[in-house]
């Protein structure tokens, strides 16, 4: 299991190094000249601060800032232009994402706190579209969060020469689609031939499918009586499988997505142990058979490169026991050779108020786990994708008594198919 975790770790490092060299067709604009080649972006926030460019795959990559070039773009249509925002000590150079370009243009960028800022440029005048949320204290002492939509007043000043947009302006919401549609309509109203570019917003992509695979597990037991039970137990290869649904988050990064799964998972540990007491010898036949419905929620970072899409996962899983068995068959042989047999739970608590025999089963039907994983997706046909993933998972086990340690480690190999 340790070797498996180490392998996952090195795979993650290799993925990180590979991710840093992710390039796609694009161009930069320098002193009015367009230089074609390949660019690498590092998410919505860093896209406004720098771009990595190389003329070809064999050339050395160079990092450019907004003060060094006029802008850049990608082959799939995204454009960025260099601007200086603010004045004096607060002035800063940024790449602004072009959303609409015409006589009146719309730009945006995402800051370090992941807040999106929108700017409208008309006839050389740049105005930011601002919305503020302020906590105010009412006369009765109650604190209320109020929202001030200053952007509506700004757009009213800039677009009052088109009265037909008055109603639409009042209904504006603070997002890219709403602003883009409004600026496009304004250009069509006042200068229809000036429109040269309209950015298509990234859409959320939702995919679902099935996953199947196998898992091996290790159970580490501590603080249990008899002491011979405090052992490491290894399972065989057990089946696992279920369904998943994945949703991208283009407003954060095209490479980031969330995935929710529902998996059937069975774990079985079978082991023979023995110990000696003063006048007898005990043999224990342990049979632990647990079946769970596991619900993992994971964050996935993907890196499409050609037809292969490597990814890494991190997340948590909630497991609910559907069926369980944790039994021990004990055969005791006395010094005179007499044999007796009995049954007990593997984990049990002394509670004479609930059982005439004094002991009750100690079992928790709900457990939590943390996991990391890495893998890759490949196209399968024209509309589907096949994925292969290795995942390492650490769980808090199934003990109903907090004094008993039942930490569990799982190593899974999963094959997924998007439907």
pLDDT for residue 13: 44
- Please name which of 22, 11, 10 lies closest in space to residue 376, comparing C-alpha atoms: 11
**CA 304/CA 151 separation, integer angstroms:** 37
pLDDT for residue 18: 47
- CATH number of the domain enclosing 220: 2.40.160.20
pLDDT for residue 11: 52
Examine the fold and report which residue of 163, 198, 233 is the final residue of a domain before the chain moves on.
Answer: 198
172 and 214 co-located in one domain:
no
180 and 217 co-located in one domain:
no
Q: Are 314 and 371 in contact (CB under 8 A)?
A: yes
The answer as to whether 4 is a domain residue is no
Range of the domain at 285: 206-418
pLDDT for residue 10: 47
Token pair for residue 267?
């774990």
Examine the fold and report which residue of 198, 228, 257 is the final residue of a domain before the chain moves on.
Answer: 198
212 and 194 co-located in one domain:
no
Q: Are 21 and 40 in contact (CB under 8 A)?
A: yes
Residue partners of 76: CB distance under 8 A and separation at least 6 = 24
83 and 180 co-located in one domain:
yes
279 and 168 co-located in one domain:
no
Residue partners of 10: CB distance under 8 A and separation at least 6 = none
- Please name which of 172, 170, 179, 263 lies closest in space to residue 215, comparing C-alpha atoms: 263
**CA 24/CA 41 separation, integer angstroms:** 9
How far lies 343's CA from each of 224, 230, 361, 406, in Å? 16, 18, 12, 21
Region class of 57: left (phi > 0), else alpha (psi between -120 and 50), else beta:
alpha
> Can the peptide bond before residue 55 be classed as cis, meaning omega within 30 degrees of 0?
no
**CA 240/CA 295 separation, integer angstroms:** 12
pLDDT for residue 217: 97
248 and 367 co-located in one domain:
yes
pLDDT for residue 2: 46
69 and 216 co-located in one domain:
no
253 and 171 co-located in one domain:
no
Token pair for residue 363?
């079992």
Q: How many domains does the chain have?
A: 2
86 and 223 co-located in one domain:
no
The answer as to whether 9 is a domain residue is no
pLDDT for residue 295: 97
Listed as ranges, residues in the chain with pLDDT below 50 are 1-2, 4-6, 8-10, 12-13, 15-20, 356
Examine the fold and report which residue of 155, 180, 198 is the final residue of a domain before the chain moves on.
Answer: 198
The answer as to whether 159 is a domain residue is yes
**What pLDDT digit, counting tens, does each position of 89-140 carry?**
888 999 999 999 999 999 999 998 889 999 999 998 999 999 999 988 888 8
How far lies 189's CA from each of 163, 231, 297, in Å? 10, 78, 47
Q: Is 405 exposed, middle or buried (0-12, 13-18, 19+ CB in 10 A)?
A: middle
The answer as to whether 357 is a domain residue is yes
280 and 174 co-located in one domain:
no
pLDDT for residue 42: 72
216 and 160 co-located in one domain:
no
pLDDT for residue 344: 92
pLDDT for residue 352: 60
Q: Is 280 exposed, middle or buried (0-12, 13-18, 19+ CB in 10 A)?
A: middle
The answer as to whether 7 is a domain residue is no
**CA 386/CA 170 separation, integer angstroms:** 47
94 and 41 co-located in one domain:
yes
**CA 30/CA 98 separation, integer angstroms:** 17
Q: Is 30 exposed, middle or buried (0-12, 13-18, 19+ CB in 10 A)?
A: middle
The answer as to whether 387 is a domain residue is yes
- The predicted model scores a pTM of 0.71
For 279, the enclosing helix (H) or strand (E) is: none
């Amino acid at each position: 299991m340790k070797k498996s975790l180490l392998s996952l770790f090195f795979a993650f490092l290799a993925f990180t190094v590979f991710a840093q060299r992710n390039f796609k067709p694009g161009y930069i604009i320098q002193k009015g000249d367009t230089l074609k080649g390949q660019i690498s972006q590092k998410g919505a926030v860093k896209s406004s601060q720098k771009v990595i460019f190389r003329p070809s795959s064999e050339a050395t990559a160079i990092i450019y800032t907004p003060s060094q070039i006029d802008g850049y773009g990608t082959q799939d249509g995204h454009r960025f232009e260099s601007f200086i925002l603010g004045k004096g000590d607060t002035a800063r150079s940024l790449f602004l994402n072009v959303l609409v370009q015409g006589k009146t243009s719309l730009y945006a960028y995402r800051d370090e706190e992941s807040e999106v800022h929108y700017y409208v440029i008309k006839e050389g005048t740049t105005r930011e579209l601002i919305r503020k949320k302020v906590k105010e204290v009412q006369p009765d002492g109650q604190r209320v969060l109020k929202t001030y939509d200053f952007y509506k007043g700004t757009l009213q000043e800039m677009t009052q020469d088109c009265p037909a947009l008055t109603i639409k302006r009042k209904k504006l919401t603070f997002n890219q689609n709403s602003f883009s549609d409004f600026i496009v309509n304004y250009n069509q109203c006042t200068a229809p031939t000036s429109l040269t570019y309209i950015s298509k917003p990234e859409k959320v992509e939702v995919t679902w499918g099935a996953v199947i695979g196998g898992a091996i597990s290790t159970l580490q037991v501590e603080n249990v009586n008899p002491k011979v039970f405090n052992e490491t137990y290894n399972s065989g290869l057990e089946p696992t499988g279920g369904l998943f649904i994945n949703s991208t988050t283009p407003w954060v990064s095209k490479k980031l997505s969330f995935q929710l799964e529902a998996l059937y998972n069975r774990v079985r540990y079978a082991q023979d142990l023995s110990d000696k007491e003063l006048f007898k010898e005990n043999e224990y036949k342990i049979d632990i058979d647990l079946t769970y419905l596991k619900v993992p929620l994971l964050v996935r970072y993907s890196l499409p490169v050609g037809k292969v899409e490597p990814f890494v996962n991190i997340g948590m899983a909630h497991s609910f026991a559907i069926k369980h068995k944790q039994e021990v068959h004990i055969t005791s042989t006395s010094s005179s050779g007499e044999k007796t047999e009995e049954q007990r739970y593997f984990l049990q608590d002394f509670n004479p108020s609930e059982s005439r025999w004094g002991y009750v089963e100690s079992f928790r039907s709900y457990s939590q786990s943390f996991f990391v994983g890495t893998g890759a997706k490949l196209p399968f046909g024209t509309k589907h994708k096949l994925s292969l993933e290795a995942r390492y998972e650490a769980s808090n086990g199934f003990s109903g008594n907090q004094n008993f340690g039942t930490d569990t480690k799982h190593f899974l190999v999963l094959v997924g198919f998007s439907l």
